[in-house]
Chain A
Amino acid sequence: MRHKKHITAVDIRSFSAGANLFFNIFLALFAISCLVPFIFIIIISLTKETDLTIFGYQFWPKHFSITSYQYLSKFGSQVVRSLGVTIFVTVIGTIMNTMFSATYAYAISRNEFRYRRFFTMFALVSMLFAPGMIPTYLVVTQMLNLRDNVWALILPMAFGVYNVLIMRTFYKTQVPDAIVESARIDGAGDLRIFAQIVVPLAVPGIATISLFTALGYWNDWMNALLYINNDNLVPLQYLLVRIQNNMDALVKSASQSAQLGAAAAQIPTEGTRMAMVVIATLPIALTYPFFQKYFVKGMTIGGVKG
């Protein structure tokens, strides 16, 4: 009976067969447009360098080659180094942000916390007004002295008010008050209640915010643009920005041959560049379809006010 009802509900919502086909084709084309550029980049990275020079970028090149990837391990030191920086920053940053946001959210979600309203406002105000790029830059470089310091890539994103809101909603809907109260009656302290009872119940929420945060750290190049000059601390995304800038500088100063040599030495070949783009994209492309459920949950929970 229930099964039958479910089927009618889907039918009512659905298009007629003709419209269904039309919109399927439409959506399929759009979906392909979202994937094709990346596939194209993979093909370019696997194209023989001479083919790239002669024919440019092609969807189906005459000669395939993996020299770009072999070259990466030689040009390597910088790419490997940058990959290391990115992984370090992503791991440490995600742990910090998730911990700090989850604990903050728990405190302001508990009615028995006397300063709950104050700390809720204290965080929410920051969503109403942006402090601005320059004042933040001055604080990080002048007051905290984090220029050319790996913490300049971590600390500016080590807490997220949006994550706090997601977690607060999560605690309120997924962690029954009765469980917390009964644990308290049994004599458990607030810290123990949080660590042993609340956190296990909130795992889906924690997964959601940590995925968002990890993505943010992995994709960040802005903080590196502002604070990092030292080659050893350049994350992968900013390395891509830098190579692009060097290429552009090369085009602009084509007449000044003295600079040409120095800039050209910094620039890997076409295929190698695209191989680096593939390496920066692949971890996201391979993992996000599995975590998509959590992402979608986070996106829709964040939209709920409360």
Chain B
Amino acid sequence: MDDTLLLVHTEADGSLAKIAREALGAARSLGGSLTIGLVGGDAQAAAGSLGGCGAARFLGASGEMFRQPRYATDAAAAEALCRASGAQLILAPATSRWARVLPGVALRLGGRVDTHATRVFPSEGAPAIARWYYRQRMEAVLLRPQRPWIVLLEAGCHPAWTGAPASAALENVPVDLPEGAIRTTVNGLRAPQAEEQTIRPEADLLFVAGAGWTKKQSDGATHADDAERLILEFLRRTQASLGGSKSLVDLSGEGQAVLRCMTHLNQVGQTGATPRHPKGLSTCCHGEEPHVVGWRFIGERRAVNLDPNCGWARGKADVLYIADAFEVLRRINALLGEKTQATRA
């Protein structure tokens, strides 16, 4: 098996994201020699958190200039770590930060890169990867003879490594940055124009809202405000992530009642995101493939719908509740509220 380098970067608070630990879990499953390459403001602290993972070496590009994601510094750091490790296989979590730079790094190294991998495993004595094509419609397993081979591994595809921290001897790798290379300043993050944060990639539950929430209800009127209140309360209480069907997102362009908490960034499905969560609950969703592709990587799926033949549910969900989602969510929120009060008491 090839020697493997796992590239990870620290988050704004200096920690490592769950996706980084998932990639570590995948890298360890390959066998062979493993090196960890860390990029960030304080790589030593992050190395300690992975100290017990059994890696042969810990390499770091550490310092203020690597604290924030920026192409010029991240590409130089990744290139330096790859060269210092001499690894033939380079794994990295598919964060926006690595996705921005690693294809360029592959060119610098004269190697190859594959993005959106969902599995990496030994095959015929060499690493193989699986990834999806045609908007998550078919899965292929592929091998490459070229080295180094950089693979970006998607979130939620492998159990995260959960070992204990231990001391790790970090080797600082010098990074060669041309003079005047830093022309970009990162000024932080901006949340979308929604009342609150509703996209939580690491949530255990994906809550998908469909257009049915904005349609006329049994009393002949629409209740989009109620729907929004119920959904936001549910999200606050469960810390679930919010997804929207394309039809619901499209409504905003038709002048119909819409959920203000829903932006097109929440959209799941063929033309939206295909998030990975252990569980998913769809409510008031309608439509067939390709929109149901948004469900593809959800582990356990349940649906609440008044239509027993809904394409999101029948054959796609494990359990379909034929019921009014307004009523069900109202009751769930009430039960969650009681549970919170009982815990406080």
Whether chains A and B associate is no
- Interface residues of chain B, those whose CB is within 8 Å of chain A, are none
